């Protein structure tokens, strides 16, 4: 498909939207990004970007910049919430792409992408809330301020509560998953090493890893809960609520939680993977198409993959329709499989009762001790997947 002269509107300046804008612009399309917020701003929280996400950033010409704002993650370590010692250690140093497991502050990655998008000549228009999208020969976009915009293609990268998704799939609302997550940053006074540590307890788990040259520690603390009673999807919370929820966690997790001063509580909401990812002139990607629980650390990585595959599928196609079809067929099954793996981790991390958990941990220890590389290879289809090579 010829890109020059095509007007493409990207809805949302998150990781997926910015990567998509850059990938399409690099192929010659005229792109504009519409973002509802008044600034490019991200929550103060960390992200794990795995080799599959790094491959896309490399193909976009951003590898060096990424490495300058992120740290290599050496391993993922599973621990029991009470006992000292490791249940399982997956060491990335044994992998050929060891340097491509990265720990990064979300705001730093979004700033890097926004800067690259602007330098490529794309206008990011802020305070542009999209109210509705209509799919047809051309996409019709109605803004909350009453303005209307037309485009050859509308890329809906507008996140979990996507308006673009509604144009293709009807108004299916996201549902509460029965889990909440506190997110906070604390100073790395304990000198935690550059690895992701997961402390597993009954009905809850705590993930911590350092960021920004080991100076701060990112915390994600997940707990099962019957309902989400608050309005909206996240709000600031009293750090004592977090400490109370994780009472019984000893040693390092307790020392980390003691330091929390500011914390936000998120309800974890989800949609099933969208049935339709495109129409005639509308396509969706990232959380708009397939929000996932964060237990494989893959939501942003999948959004990066989508962004690349959408641009690649369009550029190799005879018509836009063919390109959009190809995009969906290259992405849907993979997203479903990764999301199923993340759902499975929720169960593994939170297992009760105690004897079952103990038996599970012994099995994990044995598997890790006997064949740690094999365990990592089991996940290679997720982390080692390179959409830019196909």
Ligand X SMILES: Cc1cc2nc3c(=O)[nH]c(=O)nc-3n(C[C@H](O)[C@H](O)[C@H](O)COP(=O)(O)OP(=O)(O)OC[C@H]3O[C@@H](n4cnc5c(N)ncnc54)[C@H](O)[C@@H]3O)c2cc1C
- Examine residue 339 and tell whether it contacts ligand X (CB under 6 A): no
The residue (of 143 and 317) whose beta carbon lies closer to ligand X is 143
The reply on whether position 73 binds ligand X by CB under 6 A is no
Burial class (CB within 10 angstroms; exposed 0-12, middle 13-18, buried 19+) of 315: middle
- For position 12 contacting ligand X by CB under 6 A, the verdict is yes
The reply on whether position 174 binds ligand X by CB under 6 A is: no
In this chain, which stretch among 15-23, 60-68, 320-328, 361-369 interacts with ligand X, using CB under 6 A? 15-23
Binding mask 182-201 for ligand X (x = CB under 6 A): -x------------------
Whose CA is closest to 278, among 153, 174, 388, 159? 153
Q: Where are the alpha helices (DSSP H) in 198-298?
A: 239-245, 252-258
Continuous segment of H or E residues that includes residue 185: strand 175-187
Q: Which is nearer to ligand X, 4 or 145 (CB)?
A: 145
Comparison of 128 and 140: residue with beta carbon closer to ligand X: 128
∠ CA 192-197-202, nearest 5°, is 130
Closest to ligand X by CB, 181 vs 320, is 181
> If DSSP codes are grouped into helix, strand and coil, which group holds residue 7?
strand
Q: Residue 228 pairs with which residues in a beta bridge?
A: none
Number of residues that bind ligand X (CB under 6 A): 35
- Decide: 117 and 25 in contact? Cβ < 8 Å: yes
Which one of residues 1, 8, 11, 59 is an interface residue with ligand X (CB under 6 A)?
A: 11
Residue 12 CA, distance from chain mean position: 14
Residue 362 Cβ vs ligand X, minimum distance, rounded to whole Å:
28
For the CA atoms of the chain, what is the radius of gyration?
Answer: 21
**Cis status of the peptide bond prior to 353, with omega within 30 of 0:** yes
Q: Which is nearer to ligand X, 1 or 245 (CB)?
A: 245
**Alpha-carbon torsion, ordered 212, 17, 175, 260, to 10 deg:** 20
Q: Does 298 bind ligand X (CB under 6 A)?
A: yes
How many other CB atoms are found less than 10 A from the CB of residue 179? 23
User: Given the rule CB under 6 A, which of 22-30, 34-42, 224-232, 361-369 is the region that contacts ligand X?
Assistant: 34-42
Instruction: Verify binding: residue 312, ligand X, rule CB under 6 A.
Output: no
Q: Which stretch binds ligand X (CB under 6 A): 74-82, 145-153, 297-305, 341-349?
A: 297-305
Is 297 one of the binding residues for ligand X (CB under 6 A)?
A: yes
Burial of 356 (0-12, 13-18, 19+ CB in 10 A): exposed
Question: Going edge to edge, which strands form the sheet with 123-125?
Answer: 123-125, 30-34, 7-11, 153-156, 282-284
Q: Does 117 participate in binding ligand X (rule CB under 6 A)?
A: no
Nearest distance, CB of residue 127 and ligand X, angstroms: 9
Site string for ligand X, 122-161 (x = CB under 6 A): ------xxx--------------------------xxxx-
Residues of the shown chain interacting with ligand X in the complex, contacts defined by CB under 6 A = 11-17, 34-37, 47-48, 128-130, 157-160, 163, 181, 183, 220, 266, 286-288, 294, 297-301, 303
């Amino acid at each position: 498909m010829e890109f020059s002269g095509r007007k493409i509107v990207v809805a949302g300046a998150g990781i997926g939207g910015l990567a998509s804008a850059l990938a399409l612009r690099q192929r010659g399309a005229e792109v504009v990004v519409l973002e509802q917020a008044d600034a490019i701003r991200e929550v103060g929280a960390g992200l794990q970007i795995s080799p599959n996400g790094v491959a896309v950033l490399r193909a976009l010409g951003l590898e060096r910049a990424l490495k300058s704002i992120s740290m290599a993650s050496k391993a993922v370590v599973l621990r029991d919430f009470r006992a000292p010692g490791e249940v399982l250690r997956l060491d990335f140093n044994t992998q050929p792409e060891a340097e491509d497991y990265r720990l990064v502050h979300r705001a730093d990655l979004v700033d890097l992408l926004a800067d690259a998008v602007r330098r490529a000549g794309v206008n990011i228009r802020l305070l542009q809330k999209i109210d509705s999208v209509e799919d047809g020969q051309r996409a019709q976009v109605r803004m909350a301020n009453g303005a209307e915009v037309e485009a050859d293609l509308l890329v809906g990268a507008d996140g979990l509560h996507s308006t673009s998704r509604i144009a293709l799939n009807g108004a299916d609302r996201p549902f509460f998953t029965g889990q909440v997550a506190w997110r906070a940053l604390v100073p790395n006074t304990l000198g935690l090493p550059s690895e992701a540590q997961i402390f597993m307890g009954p009905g809850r788990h705590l993930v911590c890893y350092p960021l920004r040259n080991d100076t701060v520690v990112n915390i994600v603390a997940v707990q099962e809960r019957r309902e989400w009673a608050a309005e909206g999807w996240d709000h600031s919370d009293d750090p004592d609520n977090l400490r109370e929820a994780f009472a019984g966690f000893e040693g390092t997790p307790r020392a980390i939680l003691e330091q929390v001063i500011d914390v936000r509580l998120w309800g974890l909401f989800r949609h099933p993977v969208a049935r339709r990812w495109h129409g005639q002139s509308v396509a969706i990607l990232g959380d708009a198409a397939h929000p996932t629980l964060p237990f494989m650390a893959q939501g942003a990585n999948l959004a990066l993959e989508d962004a690349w595959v959408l641009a690649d599928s369009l550029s190799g196609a005879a018509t836009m329709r063919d390109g959009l079809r190809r995009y969906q067929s290259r992405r849907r099954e993979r997203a479903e499989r990764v999301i199923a793996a993340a759902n499975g981790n929720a169960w593994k991390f939170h297992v009760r009762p105690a004897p079952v958990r103990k038996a599970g941990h012994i099995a994990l220890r044995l598997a890790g001790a006997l064949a740690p590389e094999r365990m990592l290879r089991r996940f290679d289809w997720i982390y080692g997947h390179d959409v830019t090579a196909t």
